[in-house]
Structure 1
């Protein structure tokens, strides 16, 4: 057995054909996995050694670099969708955004516990997304950030929603009720950019508030990148026409308004994100109230309706109950209703249900609806103050009249919530008195003992019950046509119905002195300082009206900012043959925003024109800035070579290479997947291409504006490929795609069948290589599922699981690894 193991170790330890014995591969493989379902999207976290994968089943997976262990999985949901089309990490790595094509939604997911934090709809299916952080420094912003938390001095913390209900808010959890700051992230402004079909491009501040809807882009968005200085947005689109093959185009949009008004945009975006989150909080609070209301509360109404339909006399129901109240006598039919259908036990259960349900709804109104409405009024009032500073905020579309309408709508909602409180309070008093009297009456019908504390009933109590019977127990033929019952004894549920119809039993305000005073005063009745009350409408109706008004108020800046964005550059690049079946989500071109040089880079290939060339396009983030050597190419046909101990050139591999995929590793390096084809074989290579050697070309390219780039490709300056030892052959794998993270120095290669993944550390010390190779050898002997634990053992917490240092290098040597190393030393 030791001899077999030693032979395997010798086989694995032997260098590839194009490498000398003393020149180990530049990148260390730290994980390999065969996945059960094809992967459609993959993206590295910008801050941690975590990679997100989305497969064809709609499942979202999060894996850690160390042994490629699975941290968690988020299965597809019928409430969100099952077709993930794009992924993007928030710059701080705490939230992951993904788009759903079948339901046209974007979901923000918390990375720590795989919680869905926020969902919002979009008009078109999203095909690509980019989440950037503004890097411009501004003294005005610094003072703004310092005063941002002033609302905490005036507003109490929003109470968490109770977890006893099925609809529980993840944003306002019991552990941390102010988790809106998790959605806002750090103090810097960050913007989620979405691109889709038919030139659909939208910008969302903090991933939540739509700050701009852009026009001027044609075709389906394939890739996009917003510059960190907010001066321009670069978009790669695929334009289709019936006459010719699809055309790949590059657009640069001038977003100078966002850059010029950065402090104002940041302040407005944070305020509107607060408002959007509060609207969601109110919606979830009302949903919890609807769940607290139980169907058992309708039992009295249904029993009385059945009683009317079955009784033979023409006596009114309220007369039957009044006779029982005043004389202690009742008809046989009423006795049958009370004793056989309602029963003493059923009456006690109904009373307990009403008291419990009304108390829960009352607490939610006081602690959640009212506090949420107050916070909403506070933030809207601050936005109104901003809108009155016309010099600063009018160019962004803030309209003081529209915001005033939103404030009025919130005031009406607050009044309706207060009206519901009064109805609950009155109903609880009425039902307690009514059930107490009816319980005693039913005990007497059964000739059972009546407790002395219940037997005492004053004249005031009798009058109270009589008024309740007169008001609630009158038959209503119109109500039967609408609801299928003659009575509406229970008055709270009508406020929680999500219907456009008026209230069945609106509150009786005849004795209200304030309303009488308002009706008699002409000036006060029309005063804008007073909120309208809508006495005939339900709480749900007023809430929907408030949401619509605020949504219109929030949309106007997005329209104004969107119209200010103009197309600065439009460059047709090349055509795509219809026979190309490569998945669009991974295909080149790839965009990169160089924050230091303030430039957009576009890397792409034209295999049908020049299969052995890789092209690079540069544009300044400032559309007016001229960039010399804006287009250049890299010749990939050079042979990969290496050096032996004497420094002489070793045997060269006779392959002509083409680029399958390319991603920007950092501002100075490009990670590429190359395919070399010989007469009877092919091989895949992962390589690092330094941009400095490519950008050193001094030949200027004169772009003909009436021609596509592929039609003038022969005139593009070309540089040879310089790799050194920064490459590695991917043995036993037909690679196709790559995802990289230069900050964490990692790369993930995906095979052409979308199921085979290899993970590499790109910058490693030489002494670590022997350990890594011996580990890979051992894992291959154990069944080919390299360094991966079983599915049931892979789940862990993002913060504490796996490598505590978060750098993915914390591997433990197994006994077999140690034996393999000892065997190597013996040889």
Structure 2
């Protein structure tokens, strides 16, 4: 009887382009043509969540991968050239970064190699917590922009960083574009010289080689599929140094995102001030229709305590005492928010940046270890200087905010008292005192904010200007309209008079005429420069170790997703071996080919190429005297190091599909090494490839009423998901449950193979009917096949097992 059973079935509304099992949990991620990312659970194939496309992510998902710990999903967006990291628990976007080329495939691998140096680093990596305060969470009111740093999600930052152990996200795209990202965030290598478009890739867990399947298209011939093995020895030889450097740079990248989000919150707080001004004072100024300037009338009120009838009417009727009080509180609250963000967020983030960059500078001075990786101490010095300049500019903004708040408070307090007197209300004694300093603050406010100087108008061109603070938050290259007055600053005067100090590298430049955004962009550019150099150096160190032209392909059907196309790649981590499984339908349709190479390009492995004969694959298990049947392989994926899960099609009956497990142990242990001619494609010499026959025994299952085409497996969870040729119909199977069934139902051991297939058919009918009842759409004729066989009931094996009840599908 079959050793695996069906536990779920679905008809999906949109064609599926990608399906990848979680490496740790019973979850499968699906991406469809509508741009949705779906997460389903194994039990009944229940949907856990869906992430719809939006403006920030785009609609065209081109590849999909799980982080090895199963907590993060990465997917690429072709129309926006973006890579998105998504929280698998909450369907929330945690991080987005752009890439230079559309991504066609990705692979995320965990580095398993251990050493005493790495162990000591793992244990000491969090020592920065002893010296640095915890980063404050961003305000709740701005949580829409804060993503992973808001108060409710303060733990998400650690989720994004993940374990200290190194993991690498490999991206492949058009024109040989290949990049490696440590922890899915920091680019540690940019490869050049890979020919063609990447169709699939696989980085070995020992970091010794990167295997790539590429498609090279010429103008006169059909596209050719090539296998390339790249030597990444620098990464494996310097693994402790790469891990330490990558972890530091990942911290730095996260801190840059934190500072960007803090600035976004500051800009939103400033927009609140602009909105309040626009609603109240600007409208008030615009409705004044006399030739006298508003500034003059306010000055007259300040000096003589008298106002024109028109100004008094506008103040009492348009602004009102209550409205003025509310406006003052709103503006003061927004100023306080900006001030707190500068003190607690910008300064804390800058301090953390300086700490990590200083440690990276110390690493770069250990040239024997880190110079081969491209760490440049001069570039890191420039980055540290840029962070220092950003800190100085933030402090300068604090001084401007402090002065503006004093002016605002003095103005609103004076105007509030003046309006109380106009309405002949009682003025509180504590407000009735106006010192000469207060008068000076009010005069400064009137001259700065009610001036008709066009250069001081706000971004909307209105009559009321509030740009003293806002000019620092503008993301523009222009100099500050009103730079701070540094006259009387003894330290700056001392610096100007001292030539040696003025040119000293120990002092951070302050850039007085520039805005905070400008200095922030300059800081990001300096840090990006020192982040880029290791990626370029490591990328240049990667060399091609082996290349083989496999076969030419005819025109691909438009609806065939790239992920499901063979060849497929697999790493045997224990043995240090790398496998490539592929078919050559035009040369030998009834054979499945298996190439084996060492993950270390400098070590040769015998029996590097083998053909698995699919003729009479099932007949040996049923009847040796039966006429030989030919099968072709539609899809194949490694289930574990010695088992291949395949979807087979019978040549004489194209609608028949079989899901099978191919044991590779006996085939891999025998055979002759194939000596190939590098001047020819492999399909042109396929007759010389040594072939091996296989015996399936009972490790197969007939897929009735389904035109199966693709399969995705997870040997750790012992599950498989089969997808139909129309990309809408899926079935989920538990693969290794024979022992469990034997314990639960001893009587099932006597069931014949024919009866077992009948039970399965009946169980499938129950599943299809349940789907039709639960979702209002039938599944019986989703692809042009006939309906399931009629029966009076559902087989007990399908209804009694947990998670496979038809009425819940």
| TM-score normalised by the chain length of structure 1 | 0.88
Local SS of the residue matching 2:593: strand
- Cα 1:407–1:274 shift into 2, 3 Å: same
Name the counterpart of 2:640: 666
Q: How far has the Cα of 1:482 moved from its partner?
A: 7.4
Name the counterpart of 2:254: 277
Name the counterpart of 2:704: 731
- Cα 1:659–1:643 shift into 2, 3 Å: closer
Cα distance in 1 for residues equivalent to 2:105 and 2:603? 27
Matched, 1:184 2:161: yes
The correspondence of residues 328-347 of structure 1 with structure 2, limited to 5 A, is 328-347=305-324
Matched, 1:227 2:204: yes
Cα distance in 1 for residues equivalent to 2:457 and 2:258? 36
Please tell me the root mean square deviation across aligned C-alpha atoms, in Å: 2.6
Matched, 1:306 2:283: no
Q: How far has the Cα of 1:147 moved from its partner?
A: 1.2
Cα distance in 2 for residues equivalent to 1:247 and 1:692? 30
Cα distance in 1 for residues equivalent to 2:150 and 2:760? 43
Alignment partner for residue 730 of structure 2, among 743, 752, 757?
757
Alignment partner for residue 591 of structure 1, among 544, 547, 569?
569
Question: Residues 84 and 101 of structure 1 are in contact (CA less than 8 Å); yes or no, is this contact kept in structure 2?
Answer: yes
Q: How far has the Cα of 1:520 moved from its partner?
A: 1.5
The correspondence of residues 188-587 of structure 1 with structure 2, limited to 5 A, is 188-293=165-270, 294=272, 295-299=274-278, 302=282, 306=286, 310-313=289-292, 317-480=294-457, 484-485=461-462, 488-489=465-466, 491-578=468-555, 580-581=557-558, 582-587=560-565
Local SS of the residue matching 1:79: coil
Cα distance in 1 for residues equivalent to 2:202 and 2:302? 77
Local SS of the residue matching 2:769: coil
Alignment partner for residue 649 of structure 2, among 667, 671, 675?
675
Name the counterpart of 1:11: none
Matched, 1:121 2:112: no
Name the counterpart of 1:702: 675
Cα distance in 1 for residues equivalent to 2:70 and 2:135? 26
Alignment partner for residue 722 of structure 1, among 672, 678, 695?
695
Q: How far has the Cα of 1:420 moved from its partner?
A: 1.6
Cα distance in 1 for residues equivalent to 2:553 and 2:597? 23
Gaps of 5+ in 1: 1-23, 792-808, 818-827
Matched, 1:780 2:765: yes
CA displacement, residues 675-734 of structure 1 (integer Å, 9 cap, x when unaligned): 0132x6631011111122221333221111111101111100011122111111111111
Alignment partner for residue 624 of structure 1, among 593, 599, 602?
602
Local SS of the residue matching 2:147: coil
Q: How far has the Cα of 1:815 moved from its partner?
A: 12
Higher relative contact order (Cα pairs below 8 Å, separated by 6+ residues): 1
Question: Residues 620 and 695 of structure 2 are in contact (CA less than 8 Å); yes or no, is this contact kept in structure 1?
Answer: no
Local SS of the residue matching 2:481: coil
Local SS of the residue matching 1:784: helix
Name the counterpart of 1:49: 26
Question: Residues 301 and 488 of structure 1 are in contact (CA less than 8 Å); yes or no, is this contact kept in structure 2?
Answer: no
Question: Residues 157 and 177 of structure 1 are in contact (CA less than 8 Å); yes or no, is this contact kept in structure 2?
Answer: no
Name the counterpart of 1:9: none
Q: How far has the Cα of 1:529 moved from its partner?
A: 1.2
Tell me whether 459-468 or 545-554 shows the greater mean CA deviation. Answer: 459-468
- Cα 1:254–1:507 shift into 2, 3 Å: same
Question: Residues 639 and 652 of structure 1 are in contact (CA less than 8 Å); yes or no, is this contact kept in structure 2?
Answer: no
The correspondence of residues 796-815 of structure 1 with structure 2, limited to 5 A, is 811=802
Name the counterpart of 1:685: 658
Local SS of the residue matching 1:395: helix
The correspondence of residues 89-104 of structure 1 with structure 2, limited to 5 A, is 89-104=66-81
Local SS of the residue matching 2:495: helix
Name the counterpart of 1:740: 713
Local SS of the residue matching 1:164: helix
CA displacement, residues 613-663 of structure 1 (integer Å, 9 cap, x when unaligned): 10111121111222211111011111414768xxxx488576310000000
Question: Residues 779 and 785 of structure 1 are in contact (CA less than 8 Å); yes or no, is this contact kept in structure 2?
Answer: no
Alignment partner for residue 157 of structure 1, among 134, 139, 143?
134
- Cα 1:520–1:471 shift into 2, 3 Å: farther
Question: Residues 581 and 593 of structure 2 are in contact (CA less than 8 Å); yes or no, is this contact kept in structure 1?
Answer: yes
| TM-score normalised by the chain length of structure 2 | 0.90
Q: How far has the Cα of 1:264 moved from its partner?
A: 0.5
- Cα 1:156–1:478 shift into 2, 3 Å: closer
Alignment partner for residue 602 of structure 1, among 580, 584, 587?
580
Gaps of 5+ in 2: 749-755, 777-799
Q: How far has the Cα of 1:528 moved from its partner?
A: 1.2
Cα distance in 2 for residues equivalent to 1:184 and 1:597? 30
Q: How far has the Cα of 1:468 moved from its partner?
A: 3.9
CA displacement, residues 146-195 of structure 1 (integer Å, 9 cap, x when unaligned): 11111010011111112221534333342563543322322321000000
Name the counterpart of 1:822: none
CA displacement, residues 65-100 of structure 1 (integer Å, 9 cap, x when unaligned): 111111111111121111111111111111111111
Matched, 1:614 2:592: yes
- Cα 1:813–1:761 shift into 2, 3 Å: closer
- Cα 1:755–1:812 shift into 2, 3 Å: closer
